Chains A and B, each alone.
Chain A
Amino acid sequence: MTEGPLTLAEKIWSAHRVMTLESGAEVIAIDRLLLHERTGGVALKSLEEAGRTVMHPSRVFATMDHIVDTFPGRTDKTLMPTGTAFIVSTRESAKRHGITLFDIDDPRQGIVHVVSPEQGIILPGAILVCPDSHTCTQGAFGGLAWGIGSSEAEHVLATMTLRMNRPPDMRVTIDGVLGEGVTAKDLALHLIAALGSNGAKGHIIEFAGSAVRALDMEARMTLCNMATEMACAGAVIAPDDKTFDWLEGRPYAPKGEVREQAIAAWRALYSDDGAVFATEHRFDAAEVRPMVTWGNSPQHAAPLGAPVPADALSKADQQRAVEYMAVTPGEPVEGLPIDAAFIGSCTNSRISDLRRAAAILKGRKVAEGVKAICVPGSTQVKAAAEAEGLHEVFLDAGFEWREAGCSMCFFAGGESFAPEARVISSTNRNFESRQGPNTRTHLASPETVAASAIAGRIALVSEIAA
């Protein structure tokens, strides 16, 4: 065993080390594997074709989120021409292998990174993987969680392990207090703008500091979710009472005596004083302002009202982004008229996100000509929102109110916004054509999305308050 002070990630990693191979790589035990119909079906099919079986089906879960459409009354039919095949194939494979599936009509269905915490599948100290790049969202619970490829998923299905080297540690400490109306999404965009889209390459980021401890669990998930936009290998936040309380009573979380035993073990999950990180960054929460992106990378982000970099045209990637997004260097994107507003995705579609957006929308109307859509992250979130009457707020304001799923967080050949539509979006990626062919996506918090939908242009909440 390693002596001396350890990082949180190191503690979790060493508790999962099965063996070290001659090459120096390690065989690491995986506690939980999640699948969705877009990439999971392929992994299961490929496993079957190789004549292999699932080693521990009880620790594998699947959901329908990426391709399934989000219109009321949905079925297996999708707008994506071949989408039904993905849905049916995933369902049949899950059944054959005894994998728990949150199917289309299941009250537990939803976006994989929303339903896993909801069901208590991710736990502190656990290692969870999923063939999806935003898996690091779940590191918010003090486990290690990261995205893998389909072949790696196949490897986990067959062996319940991965072969890999431990990624280096990075600590991002954020002290101080976030300003009024500044959210975890703004904090995430602030960090990405500062560190760059490659700023955490291959590292496991531990988010620490008083500002992180002050975030509630859903905000922590938003922060960890966006960490993948810095090319990290994973993100983690030390668990605390907020974590344990949030998990209490969740279907797959431990109960009774086992819960007590688990909590005792989870309390040891923190980076020791003096633990060494390969890289350290520090930020002051007070400096974070509401953010919006102007380009085609989440790192192309600036505070609302701040200009697009004046020299953007002299940098190759920025030049392309400026042209694609039809923005003007030296001028802010704030005030640009929008065609659409989207609230949803594994970044910002949980009940707290919907409550905050609804508080802004209440008694107001979406501007003429703006297509506004709200897609709850899970069927449970949708039900909870409806129990509080939030759906009526969205509908009265002129938002569509959908079934749970990824929806137009990304365009999979199904539904999309109009070509070149300017979209203010609570999602995580503003890549070219992400929300439909040639759409222009501006990432922001649900608050800013709601305010912009009302104003008909990219706007701060304070601009519509009256």
Chain B
Amino acid sequence: MTPLVTLESRAVPLLRDNIDTDAIIPSREMRSVSKDGLADGLFAGWRYTAIGGREIDPAFVLNQPESKGAQILLGGSNFGCGSSREHAVWALAEYGFRVVIAPSFSPIFQGNCIRNGIAPIVLPREAVEAIAAGFADGTPVTIDMPSCEVRMGLAVFPFSMEDEARTMLIEGADAIELTLRHRAEIEGFFARDAAVRPWIYLAD
């Protein structure tokens, strides 16, 4: 995973509430047993003029020239609700987004973001709206993970994020590798627990 320390980019506003994972990546766009090849289907229902088509709808914000190359997405509350499909995050990542800022996230989506190198940043609605207002005139937005700040011009928006999540994003760490360093503790736990709750431990 590529570490995410600081980043400067435009922030694309998509401030609808309850943007669900079906909207982020419609299930019909998930065609292979793979994490790749999803960027094309990102927001397909809104990005293209017809269901299943590829004709660009110029009215959709992602299709506006100002959005080109943007790595920050602004969303409404309960962002990423609905199906737990991780494809939604894979599609965002492959498209090039590293940060999503919203007033709140669905917990499953939030966890998926962190595991895939995308920072889910919670800011109050007014802050998200203030950042969105800078989109039209191309004001760049800075994400500073070590100091937990989003900055735009003179405005500073502090955010909080669990240490574990922030460390993983900053280091670009693989959670499995980190956990397997504690393999002995894990096996020790199972051995002790099997004596207490034998009904849990089926024969391998």
Contacts and interface: CB of A to CB of B under 8 A. Distances in A.
Interface string B17-40: 110101100111111111100000
B185 interface: yes
A18 B112 CA distance: 22
A45 interface: yes
A432 B175 contact: no
Contact of A197 (B81, B179, B182): B81
B176 A50 contact: yes
Contacts of A23: 162-164, 167
A356 interface: no
Interface string A139-175: 0000000011111101100111101110100000000
Given A52-B176, A317-B17, A201 B182 contact: no
Contacts of A52: 176
A85 B33 contact: yes
A344 interface: no
A19 B84 contact: no
Nearest to A229: B81
Interface stretch (A25-33, A281-289, A385-393): A25-33
B176 A410 contact: no
Interface stretch (A2-10, A55-63, A179-187): A55-63
For the complex of A and B, 7 pairs with smallest distance between CB atoms: A254-B199, A23-B164, A413-B28, A149-B112, A133-B84, A25-B164, A151-B115
A23 B77 CA distance: 27
Interface string B97-131: 00000001011100110011000000000000000
B154 interface: no
A29 B176 contact: no
Nearest to B174: A50
Nearest to A232: B107
A316 B202 CA distance: 51
B85 interface: yes
A262 B164 CA distance: 35
Interface residues of A, number: 79
Interface string B167-179: 1000000011011
A279 interface: no
13 contacts: A25-B164, A39-B85, A56-B190, A85-B32, A133-B82, A149-B108, A149-B111, A155-B176, A158-B179, A163-B164, A198-B77, A431-B20, A433-B22
A130 to B, nearest CB: 9
A59 B115 contact: no
B182 A19 contact: yes
B185 A21 contact: no
Interface in A28-43: 29, 31, 38-39, 41-42
B176 A231 contact: no
Contacts of B32: 82, 85
A27 B182 contact: yes
Interface string B145-168: 000000000000000001110010
B59 interface: no
Contact of B84 (A149, A158, A161): A149
